[in-house]
Amino acid sequence: MGQPNWDELAEVALARVRAAGAEYGDIRIVESRTETVRGEDRRLAEVRDSRDGGFGVRVLYHGAWGFAASAIRSLEEVPRVAELAVEIARGSASLTRDPVRLAEEPVHRDVVMTARIVDPFAVPLEQKAAMLMETMESLHRQSGIARSRAQLWTRQDVKLFVSTEGSRIHFDLLAVQGELEATAVHDGRFASRSYNTPHLRTGYELINQANLVAEAPRVAAEAVEKVKAPAVQAGTYDLVLDPEHLSLTIHESCGHPSELDRALGYEANYAGTSFLTTDKLGTFRYGSPHVTLVADNTEPETLAATGYDDDGVACQCWDIVREGLFVGYCTNREVAPKIGDRRSRGSNRADSWGSVPIVRIANVGLLPGRASLDDLLADVRRGIYIEGHGSYSIDQRRYNFQFGGDAFWLIEHGKRIHMLRDVVYHDITPEFWNRCDGVANERFRRRYGFITCGKGQPGQSGWMTHAASPARFRSVSVIRGSGDKTP
Amino acid sequence: MSSGLTSRQEFEFLTDLVLKHSSGDDTVMSLWDSIGGTTRFANNQVIQNVNARRVTLTVTVAFGRRRGTANTTELTAGAVQDALKRAERIARVSPEDPEYLPSLPLQTYLAVPSWRAETSSAGPARRLADARRMIEMCQGEGLNAAGIVATSDGIAALSTSQGLRAYEPRTEARFSVTVMDGDASASASNTHRSCDQLGVEERTRLAIGKVKRAGSPKPLAAGRYTVVLEPSAVAGLLSWIIWLLDAKSYEKGTSPFSGKLGQPLIDPRLNLHNLPLHPDLLGTSFDSDGVPSRESWWIQDGVLRQLAYDRFTAHTKAVPPISLPEAPCLSGDGIGDDLIATTERGILVSNFWYLRVVNHTDLTLTGMTRDGTFLIEDGKVAGAVHNFRFHESPLRAFSNLDECTHPAEAVTAETGKMLVPAMRIRDFQFSSVTCF
C-alpha cells in the first residue's frame, strides 16, 4: 500500500492553500484496506477485500472552514480540489459571526504504527474461512438453534497528515475484531446470544486468543436458555453490569454528553446537544463518588490511541468525571478555546479521507474500584446481572435512556439464579450514575469499543474504546420489553 | 450528469476491461460514482462546508460456486485489474456457497425519473444560498437555527458476464433545519431528486411557527394516550416494518412477520405500495444485484401481501426476486383533514428520535419524541409538554388507527424518503418522560 508521491501531492495542495491567503490548511491522504469474512447460516455469505483511497484538504479562511476531497490522487486533481476547498471556505466566511481561532499545538513530525505480532492480512483466507465454518457448525449442533453468524473484520489505514503549520505525521494503523452469534427459536419467539472480541488495534493474535470455536457451544446453549427463560417482572432491581454492557452505557450517557461541540450546539440538528452544558463544568454532580470516568487516548491497543488526531494534536489522558464531579470535555482545536482551554484534548477525527474531522468521544472508561465481582453480587437481594449489548436509545440531550442487553440473569440473595428475557432498564443519566455504589477492581477490567458511532452530517462512524470493570447500580427501574405486557 | 462523473461510454470501457480479463466462470462489476457536498450550520452560522468526489468499483468473481469480491476507489486500468485479480484470488480459496446463483442476464428496467439537471448543477454556492435563507428567516425572528443543505449527483452502474448492462444517473437534494427558542425546538426537512422541490422556505416557516408554540413545556405523566402523529413520526415507525420484511428471516422463523403473510397485519384501511415512478420519491431502476424495481403492493387493506426476496430465497420459493421498497407510500382512506380539531384529548407528536427494536418477536420499538410535543385538549393545541419515551410496536399502533390524512412527503434523520399520512392512534404507550 501507499503511493510514492504522497509528499509531493501534499506540497502541491498546501502551496495552493498558502497562496490563497488562508490562515490554516491541512491535507490527509489515506488508503484504507478492509477485509470482511462474513459467515451466515453455515455458509460464507461474503468475502470482501475493500480498498478506499483518496485525499481531503481542509482550509481555514478568515475564520471559516472549507473542505474538499477526491478519490483521484493525481497532480491535476489535487490543486483543483485544494482551490475548491479555498473557494468553499470563502463562501463560509460570508456566513460566519464568530470566527474560528485554533488552539495552539506544537508542530509534530512523527511516524505512528500499530504494534502487531501476527499480520492479519498474512493469515491465509482458507484458515479464516475454515474457522468460521467450524464455529457455525458448532453453533448448529445445539438443538433449537435456527440461525448462526460468524465474522472476522480487519482494517488497515495508511495515512499522511500534513499541515501548513509544519506538522507531518505518517500513520500505519490496524484494527481487528471477531464475533459469533446464535439465534434460537422456541414457542413462536426467537432470541440471540453473541460473543465477540473487542475491536482493538492489534494483530491477528487477538483472534487466536479469543478462540471463537471454543466459545460456540456455550453461546449456543445460552441462546436456547435465553429464549426459554421467563420474562422479567417489571419493577425496581439492583443491577450488576458487566464491562461489555457498560461500554455502551458509558458511550451513550457519558461519552456523547462530554463532546464539547454538542454542548455548544453544533449537533443540534442531528445527533443532539448535551445536558452537560459549559456552566456545569467543575460543579455538576454527575455521579456518585465511586464514579471516575477517564478519557485515555494513550492506552496501547485502544481504538482512539492513534498517536495524534486529525487536527495533528497528540493523544492525551484526562478526567471527564472525577469521583462523581463533571470536570472535562472531549475537544478539538476549534472548540477548546471556547471554554478557555489553551490546548485541544486531541479528539478531532474523520472516518475517511472524504470526511471532515469532527469532535469524537475519546476512550472514556470507568476507573476500577476495590471490590471483586463476587463482592458486588453478594450484597444484592433482588437484582439482575446483565452482559453484552442489546437495544439502546437516548434522548437528544442525553438525559433519558433505556438499555437492554445480550444476556440477563436474576440475582437473589447474592447468587445468580437463572436467565431472564426481555429485560430493559431506563433512567435519567445523572440519577443513574449516582446510583452506582461499587465498581470491581482492576482484575475484572475489560475493554470494548465501537466502530459505528454515528454523528455528523454527512454521517460519519467514530471509533473509540470504553474500558470498565463490573459495576453495581441500586434501585433501577426495569420494564419488560415485550410490548403490551409492559411495564 | 456532472462533467467528471463516469460516462456511459467510460462504464462500457471499464466493463470490457474487467470482463475480458476475468478468468472466472461468472463476473459482476458494479460502479458508484458521485460528486456532492453539504453546507452545515449551527448557532446561525456556517460551521462546516464540504464537497467530495467518491467512486467505488467493485468486482465479484465466481469459479463454480466459489465467490470473491474486491473493490477499488481508483479507476486506472492498473487499479481495476488489481481489484479483479484480488477478487479471483479470494474466489479460488473460498468455500462453495450453497446459495450461489449465476449473475443476471440483460434486464428491462423502468424509466425512473432519478436525475434532475438543477440538482446536478447545484454546487457550493446554491447550498450556501439556501443555508443563508434559513438562517436569515430564523435570525429575523430572534431564533437559533442549525441545519444542512446537501446536493449530490452520481451514477449507479452494473454489468455482468451474462450480458446485464445497467446504468442510471441519480441526483439527490436534502435539507433539514432545527429551529430553537430556549428549551423549545421544532424541525423541518425534505429530500427530493430536485433541489427546487425541497420547499426550504415554506417548511422552515412552518418550523418557526411551531417553535413559537413550543415554549415552557410542562411534564406530563407517562401512560397510554391517544396520539396524533405527524407524517415524520409515522415515517419513523413505518421504517422498522419496511426494514424487517425480508423473506429469509420470515422463512427461518426469525422475523416479526413469520406466519403472517396473507394475514391481517395492521388496520384494514392502510395500504403500503412501492412507487418507484413517483416524482416525489427516490425510486431507482434496479437494486445492487441488478434486480429491476417495480411498482408493488406490500400491505393491501391491512393484509401482508409481499416480502423482500433475495435472489436465492426467491429461487427456492419460485417467486420473482424483489428488494425492500425504496419508494414507499402508506395510504389510508384519508378522510381526516384536521386530526387535531377532532381530538378531545391527546398528544401531538411532531417527530420521533433514536428508534430501536426492543423485542424482535413482536416488533416492540422504543424511542423518544422530539422537536415539538404538545398536549391537545378540546380540539386545540393546549401547550407544549416534555418529551416522552415510548415502548410500542408499530404493528399494534397501526392497528389502533383512528383516522388518518392523505399521504404527505416525509423524511427524518433516521429514515428514507416516503409518503405517509398523519395518523390519530389510540392507546399509544409512553413509558417515561425526560427532563425537557
Contact map slice: B 241-260 vs A, CB within 8 A: 252-254
Q: Yes or no: say if B343 and B226 are a contact pair by the CB < 8 Å rule.
A: yes
Which of A42, A51, A273, A453 best probes binding to B when mutated, by most B CB atoms within 10 angstroms?
Answer: A51
- What nine digits make up the cell of A367? 476507573
Mean pLDDT of the region B147-160:
98
Point out the residue among B69, B125, B370 whose CB comes nearest to the CB of A46: B69
Q: Which residues contact B92 (CB under 8 A, 6 or more apart)?
A: B63, B66, B68
Planar angle of CA A479, A399, A422, nearest 5 degrees: 20
What is the DSSP track for B135-168? HHHHHHTT-EEEEEEEEEEEEEEEEETTB-EEEE
Would you call B177 an interface residue with chain A, using a CB distance cutoff of 8 Å? yes
Quick one: which of B57, B87, B56, B85 has its CA closest to B70? Answer: B87
Mean pLDDT across chain B, nearest whole number? 97
Interchain pair B389, A402: CB under 8 A: yes
Would you call A391 an interface residue with chain B, using a CB distance cutoff of 8 Å? yes
Interchain pair A71, B132: CB under 8 A: no
B87-92, Cβ contacts within 8 angstroms, sequence gap of 24 or more: B87/A49, B87/B24, B87/B59, B87/B60, B87/B61, B88/B22, B88/B23, B88/B24, B88/B61, B88/B63, B90/A47, B90/A48, B90/A49, B90/A125, B90/B61, B91/B24, B91/B61, B91/B62, B91/B63, B91/B66, B91/B67, B92/B63, B92/B66, B92/B68
With contacts defined as CB-CB under 8 Å, which chain B residues touch A49?
68-71, 86-87, 90
Q: How confident is the model at residue B336 (pLDDT cuts 50, 70, 90)?
A: confident
With contacts defined as CB-CB under 8 Å, which chain B residues touch A89?
49
Whether the pTM exceeds 0.90: the reply is yes
Alpha carbon distance A16, A168 (integer Å): 17
Which chain A residue has the Cα nearest residue B66?
A: A44
Which of A96, A224, A393, A422 best probes binding to B when mutated, by most B CB atoms within 10 angstroms?
Answer: A393
Q: What is the pLDDT of residue B1?
A: 63
Question: How do the residues of chain B divide into helix, strand and coil, expressed in percent and rounded to 5?
Answer: 25, 40, 35
**For a pLDDT cut of 70, what percent of chain B falls above it?**
99
ipTM of the complex: 0.96
Distance of CA B232 to the CA centre of its chain: 12
Point out the residue among A47, A269, A395 whose CB comes nearest to the CB of B176: A269
Mean pLDDT of the region B191-208:
98
With contacts defined as CB-CB under 8 Å, which chain A residues touch B147?
269
With contacts defined as CB-CB under 8 Å, which chain A residues touch B71?
48-52
Query: Residue length, chain A?
Result: 487
Q: Yes or no: say if B227 and B205 are a contact pair by the CB < 8 Å rule.
A: no
Q: What is the pLDDT of residue A485?
A: 39
Q: How many CB pairs under 8 A join A and B?
A: 261
Q: What is the pLDDT of residue A481?
A: 87
Q: What is the pLDDT of residue A486?
A: 41
Interchain pair A422, B55: CB under 8 A: no
Q: What is the pLDDT of residue A482?
A: 67
Quick one: which of A219, A301, A313 has its CA closest to A467? Answer: A301
Point out the residue among B97, B128, B359 whose CB comes nearest to the CB of A95: B128
Q: From residue A406, give the alpha-carbon distance in Å to each of A467, A472, B306, B389.
A: 18, 17, 31, 21
Q: How confident is the model at residue B334 (pLDDT cuts 50, 70, 90)?
A: confident
With contacts defined as CB-CB under 8 Å, which chain A residues touch B174?
none
Per-residue pLDDT of chain A in tens (487 residues, 90 and over written 9): 445 499 999 999 999 999 999 999 999 999 999 999 999 999 999 999 999 999 999 999 999 999 999 999 999 999 999 999 999 999 999 999 999 999 999 999 999 999 999 999 999 999 999 999 999 999 999 999 999 999 999 999 999 999 999 999 999 999 999 999 999 999 999 999 999 999 999 999 999 999 999 999 999 999 999 999 999 999 999 999 999 999 999 999 999 999 999 999 999 999 999 999 999 999 999 999 999 999 999 999 999 999 999 999 999 999 999 999 999 999 999 999 999 999 999 999 999 999 999 999 999 999 999 999 999 999 999 999 999 999 999 999 999 999 999 999 999 999 999 999 999 999 999 999 999 999 999 999 999 999 999 999 999 999 999 999 999 999 999 999 864 434 3
With contacts defined as CB-CB under 8 Å, which chain B residues touch A426?
389, 431-432
Assess whether pLDDT exceeds 80 at residue B2. Answer: no
Would you call B55 an interface residue with chain A, using a CB distance cutoff of 8 Å? yes
Q: What is the pLDDT of residue B4?
A: 86
Point out the residue among A72, A426, A482 whose CB comes nearest to the CB of B364: A482
Point out the residue among A126, A270, A399 whose CB comes nearest to the CB of B93: A126
Q: What is the pLDDT of residue A268?
A: 98
Minimal C-alpha gap between A440 and chain B (Å): 29
Minimal C-alpha gap between B399 and chain A (Å): 13
Interchain pair A88, B147: CB under 8 A: no
Interchain pair A190, B362: CB under 8 A: no
Q: Yes or no: say if A278 and A339 are a contact pair by the CB < 8 Å rule.
A: yes
Q: What is the pLDDT of residue B337?
A: 78
Which of B391, B396, B412, B429 best probes binding to A when mutated, by most A CB atoms within 10 angstroms?
Answer: B391
- Pair type for strands A400-403 and A423-428: antiparallel
Q: From residue B203, give the alpha-carbon distance in Å to each of B124, B244, B328, B412.
A: 21, 31, 22, 13
Alpha carbon distance B418, B411 (integer Å): 6
Q: What type of residue is B386?
A: H
Q: Which residues contact B265 (CB under 8 A, 6 or more apart)?
A: B257, B299, B302, B303, B304, B395
Interchain pair A458, B38: CB under 8 A: yes
